[in-house]
A and B are shown apart, each in its own frame.
Chain A
Amino acid sequence: MSTQFAAKRLSKELSKISSSLPPGIELVSADNFEEWLLDIRVLDNNPLYQNQTYRLKFRFGSSYPIEPPEVVFVKLPDRPIPMHPHIYSNGIICLDLLGQQGWSPVQNVESVCMSLQSMLTGNSKNERPPGDEEFVRGNRLRPKDIEFYYHDNDV
């Protein structure tokens, strides 16, 4: 459920997104104001991500945009989870922009997608976060309830 405030804001974003998106970002579905799917690609020649497309799932709470949306990568047969030291293999992303602290209401779906694009572009490590397996096995929390510790300032 979203408030009028959230619905209004999302409808504006949607009308903008459906008419123009930056290269490498595509809207897959946005049937309601709760969950949207987008595809992103990395545009430069980073060998880690070349020729791959990744599926992002956005979930919006009733306080969007005051509160951040929940953003995760989704695994599908043709949509892998990108390899990155801040992306868990279950698609959960550790990025301060998506946390309560780093989020700002001026951010939007498009800017989040672009941030993730650039986060991938700038990465050269072919690895998962430390403790990925254990986390993926044990985690039952929603991303917004996980207390990430943001330590890496180079992303």
Chain B
Amino acid sequence: MEAFSGDAFNVPDSTDWLGTPLACLMQVEQAFRCHVCKDFYSSPMITSCNHTFCSICIRRCLSVDGKCPLCRASDQESKLRGNWALREAVDAFVQSRDVVLQFAKTPIENATPRSPKRKATDLDEEREEQPENKRLRMTTRSSKAKAVEATAAIMREEVDVAESEETADYEPELDDGLVACPICWSRMKPWQVDRHLDTSCPGSPQPQNASSSTAKTRGGSSFGAARTPFQNPPTPTKPPERLPALAYSMLKDTALRKKMAELGLSTSGSRQMLEKRHQEWVTIWNANCDSARPKKRSELLHDLEVWERTMGTRAPTMSRSANLGAQIKDKDFDGAAWAAKHDMSFKDLIAKARNSKNKVHRKGDEVAKSKEGSSAPESGQSDGDGAGNASPALALPKATVVDLTAVPPSSQPEPADSPAQTGQELTQTRHLENGPPYLLQVENIANHSLSGEAERTRS
């Protein structure tokens, strides 16, 4: 997976095989890819309905709607089982893929049969041109790939089958950043070669043991040196335990916070944010438990942070209202949806504000009258904010202030051109410090609520 995270537009895909003599491998590759993420299966899990997905993909899907994405049968995370055979098959395919693809794309003249030894050095050169190449072991290539490769060899260079089969045991290409000593074949860093030749080279090819992962080593042993093999995992003192899903609706805020603190997760943000964060943590944690090469806890925490950042809902460590404000100011904020959702409360607020405004008017008149009667006009002023007697309309009760000033268009927090907004949104919201978002322009309110009701009955 990590090998494919580079350029977003240069993505390895099953169609890479089209146009090569190995076009039939497209189907093979497709069978190795998850239907949800379209990537190679990573920790494939099998569902009760016998479908297979990446652990993280199926866990995400199930946490959203509890159904298999392929057949819509209900399923539970706890019923997932690892599909280990497929995991090995996929890993083997992924590792041979680059080399096989390279081979398939190589023009004929380069593909002449070579002696095993020469081939090893040639491959070394090739490897330098293609740094993302993965380590390969020939013996674990799928038999189909091997067969196809052999066929291709026949097609291209018309060598006889026997020979191509014999050469099929040539050295696997290694991509460990090391080079082989030309004399004894031990592998070492490039800068060490000269010194090695001068001092420690035994002068003849040496049988290489697994740990030195030489070009001669084959199968699981060399494979296991750097990448953790399936057979013997990397000495986990004890396998990490899966986290149970929580019934969030049954948990009080404090209980949830406590649980998250125990897990070492941030407890900042709104309740909704806490739930989402916990859910995501459970998902990535459990998916990691399924992995043949589990990541460290710190890496997972980093993943969680990246997730939170890219979701655009990163919870600030402030109050809930401030968090709400951050959401509204976010450039992804869906102003239209917000306006529609809170239509009723806006209307209520407006009605209240009108009421209290009228009251204040009346009160103001009374105050003015009483002030006229009294000899000390300034003494009746309780606010002291200077808005006082000159314009009673501004002295609204604080709880129901409605700011009717227009917002500058730049602060209008809605996505560029959604189809539903072609009619131009007139309702805008803006967050003011320490309070709920206020309605700034109130026209067309009636239209909004009508449309909402109308839609429900349509279609």
Contacts and interface: CB of A to CB of B under 8 A. Distances in A.
Interface of A: 1-5, 7-9, 11-16, 19-20, 33, 57, 59, 62, 65-67, 70, 72, 74, 86, 90-92, 94, 100, 104-106, 108, 129-131, 134-135, 138-143, 145-151
A19 B337 contact: no
Contact of A141 (B8, B72, B455): B455
A101 to B, nearest CB: 8
A1 B332 contact: yes
Interface residues of B, number: 52
Contacts of A86: 459
Given A9-B38, A106-B35, A141-B336, A15 B419 contact: no
Interface in B311-360: 311-312, 332, 334, 336-337, 339-340
B306 interface: yes
Interface string B369-388: 00000000000000000000
26 contacts: A3-B310, A4-B306, A5-B37, A8-B37, A15-B9, A15-B11, A15-B13, A62-B310, A66-B64, A86-B459, A92-B419, A92-B420, A104-B67, A104-B69, A105-B36, A105-B57, A105-B69, A134-B454, A138-B454, A138-B455, A140-B339, A142-B336, A142-B420, A145-B336, A145-B337, A151-B459
Contact of B307 (A3, A57, A91, A130): A3
B448 interface: yes
A106 B36 contact: yes
Contacts of B455: 135, 138-139, 141, 146-147
Contact of A140 (B10, B72, B310, B448): B448
A13 B18 CA distance: 16
Contacts of B8: 7-8, 11, 33
Contacts of B9: 11, 14-15
Given A20-B15, A138-B455, 20 more contacts: A1-B312, A9-B36, A12-B11, A15-B11, A19-B13, A19-B15, A33-B8, A66-B61, A106-B70, A131-B454, A139-B451, A140-B336, A140-B425, A140-B447, A140-B448, A141-B340, A141-B420, A145-B336, A146-B458, A149-B459
Contact of B418 (A12, A62, A142): A142
Given A5-B37, A9-B37, A11-B9, A141 B337 contact: yes
Interface of B: 5, 8-11, 13-15, 18, 35-39, 57, 60-61, 64-65, 67, 69-70, 72, 306-307, 310-312, 332, 334, 336-337, 339-340, 418-423, 425, 447-448, 450-452, 454-459
Nearest to B424: A140
B439 to A, nearest CB: 15
B96 to A, nearest CB: 20
B312 A147 contact: no
A58 B37 CA distance: 18
A139 B459 CA distance: 13
B303 to A, nearest CB: 9
